[in-house]
Amino acid sequence: MRIVVTGALGHIGSRLIRDLPGAFPGAELVLVDNLSTRRRCSLANLPAAGRYEFFEADVLAADLPALFRGAHHVIHLAAMTDPAESVRNAAAVDRVNLRGTELVARACIATGASLLFVSTTSVYGSARSEVDEDCPIAELRPESPYASSKLAAERLLGALAGDKGLRHVTCRFGTIFGTSPGMRFHTAINKFCLQAATGAPVTVWRTALHQRRPYLDLGDAVAAMVFLLRRASFGGELFNVLTLNTSVSRVVEALSPHAPDMRVEYVDSPVMNQLSYDVDCRRLEGLGFGFKGSLEEGIAETMRMLRATAGAGHTGREIAFP
């Protein structure tokens, strides 16, 4: 088996590429990353059992059919993923997340590879208190240019499936938390952990304290992708993938034992959806997938990692990866 991972050195990818050799023994793993976030460290200490090829390449410019030749599956993670930053760079986000996905999809069509596409539960923004994959299109209100680009990419893949026979499955991930070699700190839980570990105020969006949102443990994210690859059904299915729905107030409460002197500071944000909602993931659970992650353990693990790094003589600025 040959599996291609785009964005392989990022927060999700750097954990995924370490788990794939155990999940698919003997598989050839093609890692594609443009190194725009300088995470070459994600290539260090890869499992000896893995059969890896790394290509420094941008999906917007690379010869993707050549990279995908012989691949059974492509996992497309390459994207610009910071919702707040996307407000200032909407055109670039649209180019990378939409045009990049189109080029990846067309290369899958040309080579016969199936595509696992990672989208986001931020496409919802619904006025309903609970939403699932059957939420009407008219009620989807993406919360940022990032989320809008992901929703547009979902629709594009659906069109390519109908017109060109693209074989694909889409995962709408909740907000990621948990550690990895390519870890980032722009999402809520990881950002709060970094701030608390370095003695900085925990900055909470002013209207967000009691809003409920979906969060996804990184281990669950990787396990879900492996589960869907093994299932080998690529008929355009759509799955919500999340460990739990919870509020920022509960996240802060779970963090407080690890930072007794933590200070909370309320700030404004360019992404300020006033709605609160839960996301349903029973479709994936109905196939037999079980979520095993824990908010409390994810926070504890992240704080242990940050404290260990600081104890080795690093400062908060040095470990706040871009």
**Residue 3 to residues 27, 115, 170: CA-CA distances in angstroms?**
7, 10, 17
Cα–Cα dist 12/224, whole Å: 12
**Residue 216 to residues 87, 173, 256: CA-CA distances in angstroms?**
23, 7, 20
Q: How many C-beta atoms lie closer than 10 Å to residue 1's C-beta? A: 13
**Residue 14 to residues 50, 218, 279: CA-CA distances in angstroms?**
13, 11, 26
Q: How many C-beta atoms lie closer than 10 Å to residue 184's C-beta? A: 20
Domains recognised in the chain with CATH numbers? 2-176+215-241 (3.40.50.720), 181-213+244-278+294-319 (3.90.25.10)
- At position 147, the amino acid (one-letter code) is A
In this prediction, residue 272 carries a pLDDT of 54
DSSP state string for 58-112: -TTTS-HHHHHTT-SEEEE--S---HHHHHH-HHHHHIIIIIHHHHHHHHHHHHT
Q: To 10 degrees, what angle do helices 100-111 and 145-164 make?
A: 20
The candidate with the shortest Cα–Cα distance to 95, out of 59, 55, 123, is 59
Task: Kindly state the tokens that stand for 170.
Answer: 């889409």
In this prediction, residue 184 carries a pLDDT of 87
| CA atoms within 13 Å, Cβ hemisphere of 309 | 19
CA of residue 193 relative to chain centroid, distance: 18
Residuewise pLDDT in 10s, the chain (322 residues): 999 999 999 999 999 999 999 999 999 999 999 998 787 889 999 999 999 999 999 999 999 999 999 999 999 999 987 676 766 778 888 999 999 999 999 999 999 999 999 999 999 987 678 999 999 988 898 878 999 999 999 999 999 999 999 999 999 999 999 999 999 898 899 999 999 999 999 999 877 888 899 999 999 999 999 999 999 999 999 999 999 999 999 999 999 999 999 999 988 866 655 578 999 999 999 999 999 999 999 999 999 999 887 654 444 333 333 3
